[in-house]
Chain A
Amino acid sequence: MIFTSFVYVYFLVFVAAAYWAAYRLPHAKTWQNILLLIASYVFYGYVHPWFCYLIAGSTILDYCCGLGMAKSPARRRWLLLASLLGNLGMLGVFKYFNFFADNIVIAMHSLGFEMDPVVVRLFLPVGISFYTFQTLSYTIDIYRGEMEPRRNFIDFALFVAFFPQLVAGPIERATHFLPQIESERKWNTDVFVSAWPLIIRGYLKKLVIADNVSVYADKVYMLDHPTALLLAAGTLAFAVQILADFSAYTDIARGTARLLGFELMENFDSPYLAISPSDFWRRWHISFSTWIRDYIYIPLGGSRVKTALAGALVVLTSMGLSGLWHGAAWHFVAWGIYHAILLIVYRQLGYSGRWKPITRLGFLLSWSLMFFFTLVGWAIFRTPSMTWLVRAAGNMSVGLSGDSLLVSATITALVALYSLPLIVSLILSRRESKTGPVSAIAYALAVCLIVLFAQEHGQDFIYFQF
């Protein structure tokens, strides 16, 4: 089930009504959690019911591993290993099997050994990367002694499968989200009302901005030989699309969770205002970047490593894996490594951490440079393949005249038009409380824009594929 379908509207109305109706029952929290767990499985298995077996398997494995660690501390390491193998094994099979099999065949071929390619037609279950990381954080935190295992299976299963953030995050931490599941949810009108601006903003970003600009990005990246100007315009369109699309999902997820009395973490903080790579990763996909930081980067040594080379290797490994998480293709790995190189170079130049320029001009220059680097990164991310990007870059003309100029300018102008609500929303959110009169007018206009500009055939959320 997807947020932009009408069936989701019925589903949400029914679930929210039943959920708050159960509020007055004895043991309300238990009934509410059971209801949400059933709803989450219905949501996840709505199109492909077999997806539920996977998430149930992952849930049972980590529930048992968590309890096992508490019961037999001597076996903690083995139980953690079982959890890692089970979860990452499932992810590996469904997401990366064909990628690795193909690359082994290519590698063997280059060594002179011919192998028949083994192609397994596996359908990637949506959201598997998200809930795998979420449930892994639970077992790792128990292993580290940072939290106690949960005995209530319903609560734990709901933590793994909570439908608003199940498919595309935010990747919640057990330490943040499980306590909310375990506590009583009291009706709070302010919280309930505050959910709607988030939901409207989410639909505006997805249906008006992301779906409309995606048309231009898709077209440019289908060209055999785009000019540099066209590629720049298409990449700008994609930059707007991916931010609008992904942050839309987060907004709708957070808004929906608020309707049910939960608070999910924020995933974006104006990432295109970043002035350095480290600043960018503090603002982009925050739940994922902090996961990578806490469970890969720091365990590998983080900033405590002694030599610059070791530090660079840690960053390269963390970001390379981060890229691979996004998809089983080399251009995603290249995107991760590209950001790693940016982080390393900025660090070597002394512009890492919380560095900020002193002057306004310095701020403007560093912002412009980082925005340019971000766009280059998105070109690597969006490219259909590394071969396409290298070939396109090799044969590229600038295209500062004729059709190329006209089409690039049109795409840029249309992207700017569709980005306006994003900019207005950012200004509004910084200047006024989210329920003030100006906001009320702005959100009413947002509703009108959704009705007037939504694509009739919307696209799936981009991050569904990851």
Chain B
Amino acid sequence: MKRLLSLILFLATIGVVTWMLRPSPEAAPGLDKDAVEDVQRWRQSLVDEHPQVVLLGNSMLGHGVNAIHFAMRTGLPTVKMWDGGVASAWRYLMLKNVIAPSPGKPEVVVIFFKDQYLTEPAFRVDGNYKARLDALRQPSEPLLDELAYGKERRDPLANLVSECWPLDRQRAVVKPTVEDWIKKQVGYGLHEKGKEAVNAAIGRVFADNNLNTELFTKAQLEAMSTKTEDDRDFPTLIRNSFVPSDIKIAKAAGLRLIYVRIKRVQDAQAQEDGGTSYDNPYMKQYMIDLRAYLSSHDVPLFDFTTDIQLKVSDYADGDHLNEAGRLRFTAILAQALQRELPEPRSTQSPYADLSDLADPIVLSQPFKPRPPFGWIARLPEWKQYASNASDSYRSVLEVLEDGVPLGPANSFISEIASQGSGRFSHWLDAVYFSASDNSDPNTNGRVYSIRFRMPE
């Protein structure tokens, strides 16, 4: 009798907890609001712009290619879809769930990757990256669960538990909520600031440059997919990656797939030191194998790591090009890809009206301040050429001070205001800028004008 009572109590408690923590019917629990908005925006951009080309990748693409110049050079309407730090799982879900099913799907999808990360399915799938993947995924994503999260997630028992027991689906909500509450209490207790202060402090203390990578644990190394000798079997690598599925999805949707390996500063440095690229023998063999594999599926691969046109001076940091490098690489890319791209749908080149804006246009005063050093001039008529949340490196607008170009372009608005020194950004319907000497452009007597940089 006592045993039966215990069993009833056990089951009743589980039932009560499950009921108390049941998912809200109107909200999709656990989804990051910003990540969901990004996905909606990308879906909408396909419908609105109906591009012929989609460029897909992470911040290396974001910093590396200007979509407007690419479109003007190729004559093809182009949409650039990128997110910082994302890797092959994100590209797979974007292709499968956003691009392929879209009524405005393109004819060509260019996938950008670096080094061997194309065949690293479990790279960058946790933490903040998981929130972005969750916003993209369908309820059932067996391949993602298998390749990115390990085979356990694909276990039928796990699936059954997840489907039948709502509590399992609340993990994504309850755990972060509790941990955030703790951070908030500590943050307010010690600094009178919330969890943001704690998260920022954690970010600073455990920043990459403070960590000794030689001390990574086995699990961390595995998470970073460091190769062992056994893993260097290319057929196994490719079979356990999203590449075969990417190709299959593209073929089924009638999309032409192109892979582009982006050059990093270490490759440029190796060239300046007399080499051809930074690749070691393993990486060279990897690229030979990858090219052969993609070629057998009629998928072109462009490897720009040995391209000699991009120099060290074209880079802002290890992986990212600066403004000049971005426009240079855009030209190199457009030329290289030309023979793989389709004919333009329209005889009129995209952004044809932009060429009318190549000559400087004087900005009219007064400029609205954004203290201490930032100033704002409204440009609602050129909003379509401005940088935005989807592509913060979209604009090719230049700000001139007495005819001399200011920069860097596409700076953060907060940095324009706080640091000035000529930084500017063409963001949505305004240009945010600063004088070269942080003086007041309303009173310093200089002429401020804008023009749009045209492909050379």
Residues on A lying within 8 angstroms of B by beta carbon are 5-7, 9-10, 193, 218-219, 221-225, 230, 384, 388, 402-407, 409-410, 413-414, 417, 435-437, 439-441, 443-445, 447-448, 451-454, 456-457, 459-460
Main secondary structure of the interface of A (DSSP, over half): helix
Judging by beta carbons under 8 Å apart, are A224 and B170 in contact?
no
The winner among A388, A437, A448 for most chain B CB atoms within 10 A is: A448
Which of B150, B158, B174 makes the CB contact (< 8 A) with A457?
B150
A406 engages B186 (CB within 8 Å): yes
Majority SS of interface residues in chain B?
helix
The CA of A456 and the CA of B212, in the complex, are separated in Å by 25
Report B276 CB to chain A, min CB distance, Å. 31
Residues of B within 8 A of A193 (CB): 3
Tell whether, in the assembled complex, residue B17 and residue A440 are in contact, meaning their CB atoms are under 8 Å apart. no
Given A223-B211, A436-B6, also A451-B219 (CB < 8 A): no
- Cα distance, A414 to B182, chains bound together (Å): 7
Q: How many Cβ-Cβ contacts under 8 Å join chain A to chain B? A: 134
CA distance A405 to B167 in the complex (A): 35
Interface centre among A221, A409, A436, by most chain B C-beta atoms within 10 angstroms, is A409
The answer to whether residues A5 and B152 also contact, given A223-B212, A407-B201, A437-B6 and a CB cut-off of 8 A, is: yes
Q: Does B280 contact A (CB under 8 A)?
A: no
Q: Which residue of A lies closest to B206 (CB)?
A: A219
Closest to A439 in B: B6
Which 3 pairs across A and B sit closest by C-beta, in order of nearness?
A444-B13, A440-B6, A6-B155
How far is B149's CA from A414's CA once the two chains are assembled, in angstroms? 25
Contact residues of B between 176 and 191, Cβ < 8 Å to A: 178-179, 182-183, 185-187, 189-191
29 residue pairs of the A-B complex, CB under 8 angstroms, read A6-B157, A6-B158, A193-B3, A218-B217, A219-B211, A222-B216, A403-B205, A404-B205, A406-B186, A406-B191, A406-B201, A407-B198, A407-B201, A407-B206, A409-B190, A410-B187, A439-B6, A440-B5, A444-B9, A444-B12, A444-B13, A444-B14, A448-B167, A452-B170, A452-B171, A452-B174, A453-B175, A459-B219, A460-B219
Task: Say whether B17 contacts A444, CB under 8 Å.
Answer: yes
Assembled-state Cα–Cα distance A440/B5 (Å): 9
B2: which of A230, A406, A435, A445 is its contact (CB, 8 Å)? A435
Nearest-neighbour CB distance to chain B for A353, whole angstroms, equals 38
CA distance A225 to B5 in the complex (A): 55
Q: A388-B212, A406-B190, A457-B150 given. 12 additional CB < 8 A pairs?
A: A6-B158, A218-B217, A384-B214, A410-B182, A413-B182, A414-B179, A417-B182, A440-B5, A441-B13, A444-B10, A448-B14, A451-B161
Checking B167, B171, B187, B215 against A406 with a beta-carbon cut-off of 8 angstroms, the contacting residue is B187
For A436, the closest partner residue in chain B by CB is B6
Closest to A218 in B: B217
Shortest distance between the CB of A230 and any CB in chain B (Å)? 7
Q: How far is the CA of A125 from the CA of B12 in the complex (A)?
A: 44
CB distance from A234 to the nearest CB of B (A): 11
Number of interface residues of B (CB under 8 A): 59
Is A448's CB under 8 angstroms from B17's CB?
yes
**Measured CA separation A6–B211 after assembly (Å):** 34
Which residue of chain B has the shortest Cβ distance to A414 in the bound complex?
B182
B215 near A222 (CB under 8 angstroms)?
yes
Chain B residues near A447 (CB, 8 Å)?
14
Bound: A404/B167 CA distance, A? 36
Given A6-B155, A452-B175: A409 and B13 interface contact (C-beta under 8 Å): no
B215: A residues at CB distance < 8 A: 221-222, 384, 388
Q: Is the CB of A441 within 8 A of B9?
A: yes
- Inside 8 A of A440's CB, which chain B residues have their CB? 5-7, 9-10, 13
Contacts of B204 in A (CB 8 A): 403
Min C-beta distance of A51 to chain B, whole Å: 16
Q: Is B302 an interface residue (CB 8 A)?
A: no
CB nearest to B6 among chain A residues = A440
Output the least CB separation between A460 and chain B (Å): 7
CB-CB under 8 A from B167, the residues of chain A are 448, 451-452
Across the interface, which residues of A come within 8 angstroms of B158, CB to CB? 6
Most buried by B among A193, A225, A452: A452
Are A456 and B182 in contact (CB-based, < 8 A)?
no
B210 beta carbon closer than 8 Å to chain A: yes
Asked whether B223 is an interface residue with its Cβ less than 8 Å from the other chain, the reply is yes
Given the complex, which residues of A lie within 8 Å of B201, measured CB to CB?
Answer: 402-403, 406-407, 410
- Give A405 to B197 CA distance when docked, in angstroms: 12
Of all chain A residues, which has the CB nearest B20? A448
B153 within 8 A of A: yes
Q: Are A407 and B6 in contact (CB under 8 A)?
A: no
Closest to A383 in B: B215
Q: Say whether A457 contacts B206, CB under 8 Å.
A: no
Whether B202 is near chain A, meaning CB under 8 Å from some CB there, is yes
Query: Closest approach, in angstroms, between the C-beta of A428 and any C-beta of chain B?
Result: 13
Most chain A CB neighbours (cut-off 10 Å) among B157, B170, B190: B190
Q: Does B285 contact A (CB under 8 A)?
A: no
Whether, in the assembled complex, B49 has its beta carbon less than 8 Å from a beta carbon of chain A, the answer is no
Residues A406 and B216 in contact, CB atoms below 8 Å apart: no
Q: Is the CB of A457 within 8 A of B223?
A: yes
